Amino acid sequence: MKILVPCKRVPNPDLKLKVANGAVDLAGTTWQCNPFDEYAVEAALRLTEKGKGGERVGEVVVVSIGPKDTSAQLRQLLAMGASRATLIAGDDSALDADLVARILQAVVNAEKPDLVLMGKQAVDGDDNQVGQILAARLGWPQATFLASILLGADGKSATVTREVDAGVEERRVRLPAVMTVDLRIVGKKAVRNEALAPATAEWEDTQRLASLKGIMAAKKKELREITAESLGITGGILLKTVRHEAPPTRKAGVKVASVEELVAKLHNEAKVI
Amino acid sequence: MPGTATLVLLETTTSNLRSASLPAISAARKLAQANGGSVVGLVIGAGVAAAAADAARYVDKVLCCDNPALATALAETWAPVLVAAVKKIDAAALVTSATSTGKDVLPRAAGLLGAGMASEIVGVTGAKTFRRPTYAGNALTDVEVLTSVVVATVRQTEFPPAAPAAAAGTVESLQPGPIDPLGSELVALHVSKSARPDLTEAKVVVSGGRGMKDAEGFKVIEQLTDLLGGALGASRAACDAGMVPNDLQVGQTGKVVAPELYFAIAISGAIQHLAGMKSSKVIVAINKDPEAPIFQVADYGLCATWESTVPPLIAQIKALKAAG
């Protein structure tokens, strides 16, 4: 089983975002792997191991498009256990979901993975498009917003659950496929490869941290840096970002001292009860 | 020369248009104005003739693709139908509401069309320009689609539900091309059963956070929810802790709501939660931590534990209702 996991570098979502003069100012931020992509890496690691802490069978290849120092995030993913990494030089300002999907399509054609597993969206652009566009361009099936993956023993299909508005949807999907994951995917028993791990297999209820041994091992793993041009990518973006603006702030409200006062305000002032 | 029509994918039951699609029709009308064209609805499914007739009340024309093999909304089979419909009417734009179906199917259609797409738009500023939230709602971003066909999903809370048009539109059948699910199939849909209104459509939403401690705590705010005829919500922390199912999650990674009245109880107000509720009309926060960020967006803040305030709140609202 070879799994390709595209990962995006995003600014720390817990830091206050600076928006000024029509632009987002990221000069003072710290960078990290998009949380949903990190969950996808965790899921991919589980799908290629014989239970928690078990031997890895197959390959988890991580790929990112970003500036040179994105190698730091890729090294971390290698330290978690990913097999090797590819960094394609690029800058967010010159990318959109379609171009990212086209670059990934070229990577898929070269790597020929059994599965592309990625986050449902990046927490900066919040597009929620790349997985679906990639599947369309490849002519592959897609399974989005996944909460669980049970990979069949034959390695040819998977049973997945998706978080949809009405509840939880269960689907069968043929491989190769593009799958995008939601946050439940890192639950203890959310992901399993029937060929490798028994039904009793359990993992931590979150993504794994890199061990010291993992960090040492990651230094020797392959991290290849290439360009989109070398993959034969031409043409530009289809969606242009014109400008950013800070959202209107809500007027600070009032503090009430008691339940009585709250009920009176909601009834007489806001007139909502 | 590209066409002028705006195509809107409409979600239905077998007999009715779903209300989740009404905001997308409003957005489609704005686009149709900018393009000087008509609004054409697209209904896909099996046995959906009655639903197509219902949908026709809202738009100029409905294309109905009725086929037993299209009963399930699989992106693999529905996206090619969207492409066929865009080509048939020479559409300038393709939109739908940002439901779980819309978010799954539309980007695949955009990929097949080679069209630029704007996700979860909150404003239509021109025929090809939109406003949309990014960074979990911490920025509003103006984007421009550079292709002849424009694709967009519509954030339901930011457009009013469309009213029926003066005259109902016509219904025309659309023949699908070859239907190939590429091996994907629906096994089961486990529907969350609730007598309460849908979270995204409720006029009142009562949400609990990590501070509710356990499922028992949620039972108390459920009483408040039902008293107000509202929907129950939760923060990601409460969902992650297993107090309530994840489909109740309000926030960047859950549902986006904008009710008349939103109660945030024992919710600190992380950025990702605020992204899902800060468009609510009136926000009430009950939290024991005076520094909780939720107070910065709340119209009415009560700094106290939920245990000491929610039961008397229920009693007083009951008394008010009895008196009124």
Is the pLDDT at B142 greater than 60? The verdict is yes
CB within 8 Å: B111 and A142:
no
Summarize pLDDT for B32-79 with one digit per residue, the tens.
999 999 999 999 999 999 999 999 999 999 999 999 999 999 999 999
Chain A residues closer than 8 Å to B136 by CB = 13, 123, 126
Q: Tell me whether A159 touches chain B (CB under 8 Å).
A: yes
How far from each other are the two terminal CA atoms of chain B, in whole angstroms?
62
Summarize pLDDT for B104-118 with one digit per residue, the tens.
999 999 999 999 999
pLDDT value of residue A251: 78
CATH architecture of residue range(s) B6-173: 3-Layer(aba) Sandwich (3.40)
Average of per-residue pLDDT values in chain A: 96
Q: How confident is the model at residue A29 (pLDDT cuts 50, 70, 90)?
A: very high
Q: How many CB pairs under 8 A join A and B?
A: 250
Chain A residues closer than 8 Å to B192 by CB = 166-168
Chain A residues closer than 8 Å to B252 by CB = 123, 126
Query: What residues are paired with B245 via a beta bridge?
Result: none
The structure tokens 């949309």 sit at B132
pLDDT value of residue A250: 82
Backbone angles phi, psi at B31, to 5 degrees: -65, -40
Q: Which residue of A has its CA nearest to B104?
A: A144
Of the listed ranges A53-62, A245-254, B98-107, the one predicted with least confidence: A245-254
Summarize pLDDT for B186-238 with one digit per residue, the tens.
999 998 878 899 898 899 999 999 999 999 999 999 999 999 999 999 999 99
Helix axes B306-323, B215-227, angle to 10 degrees: 20
Query: What residues are paired with A191 via a beta bridge?
Result: A149
| Bridge-based pairing state of the strands A59-66 and A2-6 | parallel
Residues of chain B with CATH 3.40.50.620: 6-173
pLDDT value of residue B254: 87
Section B85-89 average pLDDT: 97
| Window A:126-155, CB contacts with B under 8 Å | 126-137, 139-145, 147
Residue A272, both tokens? 């909502």
What is the SS3 assignment for B263?
Answer: strand
Is the pLDDT at B170 greater than 60? The verdict is yes
Summarize pLDDT for A189-202 with one digit per residue, the tens.
999 999 999 999 99
Instruction: Tell the CATH superfamily of the B204-323 domain.
Output: TPP-binding domain (3.40.50.1220)
CB within 8 Å: A272 and B282:
yes
**What residues contact residue A157 under an 8 Å CB cut-off, 6+ apart?**
A172, A173, A174, A175, B183
CB within 8 Å: A128 and B119:
yes
Q: Which residue of A has its CA nearest to B121?
A: A127
CA of A170 vs chain B CAs: smallest distance (Å): 5
Is the pLDDT at A249 greater than 90? The verdict is no
pLDDT value of residue A143: 98
Q: Tell me whether A237 touches chain B (CB under 8 Å).
A: yes
Of the listed ranges A162-171, A227-236, B293-302, the one predicted with least confidence: A162-171
Chain A residues closer than 8 Å to B183 by CB = 141, 157, 172-174
CA of A63 vs chain B CAs: smallest distance (Å): 21
* Cα B249 from Cα B227, distance rounded (Å): 21
Instruction: Tell the CATH superfamily of the A2-269 domain.
Output: HUPs (3.40.50.620)
**What residues contact residue A143 under an 8 Å CB cut-off, 6+ apart?**
A158, A160, A162, A171, A173, A177, A178, A179, A180, B184
Is the pLDDT at B241 greater than 60? The verdict is yes
ipTM of the complex: 0.96
What is the SS3 assignment for B310?
Answer: helix
Q: Name the residue facing A166 among B120, B189, B284 (closest C-beta).
A: B189
Residues A95, A66 contacting (CB under 8 angstroms): no
CB atoms within 10 A of CB B4: 18
Residue A195, both tokens? 């060929």
- The more confidently predicted of residues B252 and B244 is B244
Is the pLDDT at B324 greater than 80? The verdict is no
Of the listed ranges A49-53, A90-94, B1-5, B76-80, the one predicted with least confidence: B1-5
Section B153-166 average pLDDT: 96
Q: How confident is the model at residue B247 (pLDDT cuts 50, 70, 90)?
A: confident
What's the distance, CA B159 to chain centroid? 10
Is the pLDDT at B82 greater than 60? The verdict is yes
Chain A residues closer than 8 Å to B116 by CB = 96, 98, 237-239
Residues of chain B with CATH 3.40.50.1220: 204-323
A176 upstream amide cis, omega within 30 of 0: yes
Is the pLDDT at B1 greater than 60? The verdict is no
Q: How confident is the model at residue B2 (pLDDT cuts 50, 70, 90)?
A: low
